[in-house]
Amino acid sequence: MTELERHDYDVVVIGAGGAGLRAAIEARQQGKRVAVVCKSLFGKAHTVMAEGGIAASMGNVNSDDNWQVHFRDTMRGGKFLNNWRMAELHAKEAPDRVWELETYGALFDRTKDGKISQRNFGGHEYPRLAHVGDRTGLELIRSLQQKIVSLQQEDKRETGDYESRLKVFAECTVTELLRDGDRIAGAFGYWRESGRFVLFGAPAVVLATGGIGKSFKVTSNSWEYTGDGHALALRAGASLINMEFVQFHPTGMVWPPSVKGILVTESVRGDGGVLRNSDGKRFMFDYIPDVFKDKYADNEDEADRWYTDQGNNRRPPELLPRDEVARAINSEVKAGRGSPHGGVFLDVSSRLPAEEIIRRLPSMHHQFKELADVDITKEPMEVGPTCHYVMGGVEVEPDTAASSVAGLFACGEVAGGMHGSNRLGGNSLSDLLVFGRRAGTGASEYVDGLGDKKPVIAESDVDAASRRAVAEFDGGEAGAQENPYTVHTQLQQTMNDLVGIIRRGGEVEQALVALEELKQRARNIVVEGHRQFNPGWHLALDLRNMLLVSECVAKAALLRTESRGGHTREDHPAMDADWRKQLLVCVLNAAGDGVDVTSKDQIPLRPDLMGLFEYTELAKYFTPGELADVPAKES
Ligand code: FAD
């Protein structure tokens, strides 16, 4: 029997970003004993890096905004591949989740009349992003943590112990989910500092582990984004959807090389910044796709007037959805009209007074000054696409966040469906709060429904999990031993070059061959030293997840022979209405060492939601058969 630390909870939440913390708060408020486990420091989740804001149709800056407009924008942004029920719940509930954050202590920037201020962002028809300068994620995490502390104080008053009902296990990585038959029974992991093992028994586990960006070379994501939750779900028997859709944010830093990929927030464009090529041309006017022509200005005068008169002018094309802007930048660079370091110019210095730039974009001002010696109040930034967000994730039931495995829930970036083929900026922070809360409720209700039929963890499963966790210390095949850093670097290069922003069938096939080789080589990874804080060992464990998740992305990317949102196939450049009806579903293969991908039909859009769109717009995305019963064909 493995010697290890053991804990029992009703609900274990893996991840302490916005989604995990909101789920934990909810489950605790529903009377459950809750553990929050996170591999980074408490407070250093990815959410803390969010800059621009939270999208919610509060209508504070433009009273025409409402949940229906937000729903429409989200579906358009996702090119109608979104799970419409998730998009509906999200649009309806986001304002309440933002106001609720204020009751936790969040302090947003205000309008002149004292309401929560809302800013413009790509793809959103009205100013909709509640924000705190360009440090919104920090405020979100700070206030969720504050709520957790206040709940712990209540628990102390009642039980004498702060952590009796809600405890955080920081710097603790989960490597496996354990089951009792088909049901979740707990999670197995290790303390990063000591390397000691820890076991959490729990009938319900909520995955809130964020994204997968560290599988790509140029990314805005930090070290913990290694697709752990995606891989844990697959290995536990759950399915992933939409894995071919990876968002490349149009504006990452391109220079100096050490900071390549670091995000330049969309707020720069939302607050008036424009993109120019090496000829000084504002090139986005050349890249407005037909489906958006009626919504975006085709000349500079109208685009500039929009900032002060949104009722009578169309939006600037710099605020097209991210996939469109990223492809446009890619094309300009490829055509030889890029900036000196392989990006394009993003200029806010000629658009706003210096003091206004520093007030609205303090982090960007600081980031460029410190990292690139560029003063953005005086000169343009150089920017280019960077891997930013994965739309794909665990297939969940929208209302409860339940996966197909009993007792396993997922919310936040690790869950799939909400954003379809492309996420709009600001829609992640609201997604975390809406579905974090729903996952907390879903998990609590599931636990209540179990009565005394609680799952039990088999000792043999614990022994097997601990053996697998240290396998890399045993050394691979003599003469073929590998180092985790080399394998990781080659994985990142492969995904960047062959399954990146623009994909071609032949190249994705090459990527799949390369991934198979990397999987073989990963079996021979050897880590040296011992289990006390050993980053090589940590990376070796993370690599298993990155390889599995990369296989999902590449296999789904090869099968989807169309271009839509975050999936661009140069050999299939058009959007295909028949593909909109289909989801690609990834499951673990029978051998347990790879993934199978199959397609399944989307659930048809509910008629009343369909009625929110003009027939002419629907006709751009749906098949004639799907529109046969849609009324108001003449609209
Ligand atoms: P995270 O906040 O990343 O939390 C994941 C948690 O899981 C972490 O605590 C991590 O330690 C833990 N974890 C992972 N694996 C394990 C494991 N194996 N064991 C234990 N713990 C684990 N979105 C917006 O809507 N608006 C914005 O303005 C915005 N700006 C952004 C700026 C940047 C630079 C970036 C990178 C993203 C931005 N996004 C924005 C996207 C948004 O921040 C993320 O999608 C969102 O924060 C994800 O939240 P999450 O709760 O799902 O995961």
| Partners of 599 in beta bridges | 584
Position 272 scores a pLDDT of 93
**Total number of domains constituting the chain:** 3
Nearest protein Cα to ligand 1, atom 15 = 209
Grouping H, G, I as helix, E, B as strand and the rest as coil, residue 452 is coil
Nearest protein Cα to ligand 1, atom 33 = 50
Say if residue 120 is exposed, middle or buried (CB neighbours under 10 Å; 0-12, 13-18, 19+).
buried
Residue at token pair 């005394």: 452
Cα 384 to middle of ligand 1, angstroms: 21
pLDDT in tens, 377-404: 999 999 999 999 999 999 999 999 999 9
Ligand 1 contact, 329 CB (< 6 A)? no
Q: What CATH number is associated with residue 497? A: 1.20.58.100
Q: Which atom of ligand 1 is nearest to the CA of 44?
A: 9
Cα 47 to middle of ligand 1, angstroms: 4
Ligand 1 contact, 220 CB (< 6 A)? yes
Give yes or no: residues 231 and 254 share one domain: no
Ligand 1 contact, 389 CB (< 6 A)? yes
Give yes or no: residues 72 and 176 share one domain: yes
Position 567 scores a pLDDT of 97
Amino acid at 77: G
Q: What CATH number is associated with residue 116? A: 3.50.50.60
User: Is pLDDT of 530 > 70?
Assistant: yes
Cα 37 to middle of ligand 1, angstroms: 14
Ligand 1 contact, 270 CB (< 6 A)? no
160: phi > 0 → left, psi -120 to 50 → alpha, else beta; which?
left
Position 632 scores a pLDDT of 57
Reading the block at residue 446, the tokens are 């599931």
pLDDT in tens, 579-613: 999 999 999 999 999 999 999 999 999 999 999 99
Cα 507 to middle of ligand 1, angstroms: 30
Ligand 1 contact, 45 CB (< 6 A)? yes
| Catalytic residue status for 196 | no
Give yes or no: residues 52 and 124 share one domain: yes
Give yes or no: residues 16 and 114 share one domain: yes
Q: Evaluate whether residue 124 is within a structural domain.
A: yes
pLDDT in tens, 437-467: 999 999 999 999 998 899 999 999 999 999 9
Contact 517, 494 (CB under 8 A): no
Position 574 scores a pLDDT of 95
Q: Evaluate whether residue 73 is within a structural domain.
A: yes
Give yes or no: residues 426 and 567 share one domain: no
Position 255 scores a pLDDT of 87
Q: Which atom of ligand 1 is nearest to the CA of 411?
A: 52
Give yes or no: residues 374 and 403 share one domain: no
Give yes or no: residues 340 and 406 share one domain: no
Give yes or no: residues 319 and 407 share one domain: no
Question: Which residues have a Cβ under 8 Å from the Cβ of 513 and sit 6 or more positions away?
Answer: none
Ligand 1 contact, 542 CB (< 6 A)? no
Q: Evaluate whether residue 99 is within a structural domain.
A: yes
Give yes or no: residues 565 and 419 share one domain: no
Q: Evaluate whether residue 445 is within a structural domain.
A: yes
| pTM of the entire predicted model | 0.94
Ligand 1 contact, 429 CB (< 6 A)? yes
Q: Evaluate whether residue 467 is within a structural domain.
A: no
Catalytic residue among 119, 322, 521, 560: 322
Interface predicted TM-score of the whole assembly (ipTM), two decimals: 0.99
Q: Evaluate whether residue 263 is within a structural domain.
A: yes
Choose the final residue of a domain: 432, 460, 488: 460
Q: Evaluate whether residue 13 is within a structural domain.
A: yes
Nearest to 423 by CA among 86, 18, 15: 86
Q: Evaluate whether residue 581 is within a structural domain.
A: yes
Residues 476-481, mean pLDDT to the nearest whole number = 82
d(CA 277, CA 13): 46
pLDDT in tens, 13-43: 999 999 999 999 999 999 999 999 999 999 8
Q: Domain of 512?
A: 477-586
Ligand 1 contact, 413 CB (< 6 A)? yes
- Candidate of 47, 432, 544, 546 to mutate for ligand 1, largest count of ligand atoms within 8 Å of Cβ: 47
Give yes or no: residues 221 and 304 share one domain: no
Choose the final residue of a domain: 435, 460, 485: 460
Rg (the chain; Cα; Å)? 24
Choose the final residue of a domain: 433, 460, 487: 460
Nearest protein Cα to ligand 1, atom 3 = 46
Nearest protein Cα to ligand 1, atom 46 = 47
Cα 44 to middle of ligand 1, angstroms: 9
Residue at token pair 């309008």: 111
* Dihedral sign, Cα of residue 335, residue 338, residue 340, residue 343: negative
Contact 547, 583 (CB under 8 A): no
Give yes or no: residues 159 and 234 share one domain: yes
User: Is pLDDT of 321 > 90?
Assistant: no
Which strands, in side-by-side order, build the sheet including 172-180? 5-8, 197-201, 183-191, 172-180
Give yes or no: residues 161 and 69 share one domain: yes
User: Is pLDDT of 635 > 50?
Assistant: no
Give the Cα-Cα-Cα angle 512, 515, 518 (nearest 5 degrees). 155
Ligand 1 contact, 393 CB (< 6 A)? no
User: Is pLDDT of 225 > 80?
Assistant: yes
Q: Which atom of ligand 1 is nearest to the CA of 131?
A: 28
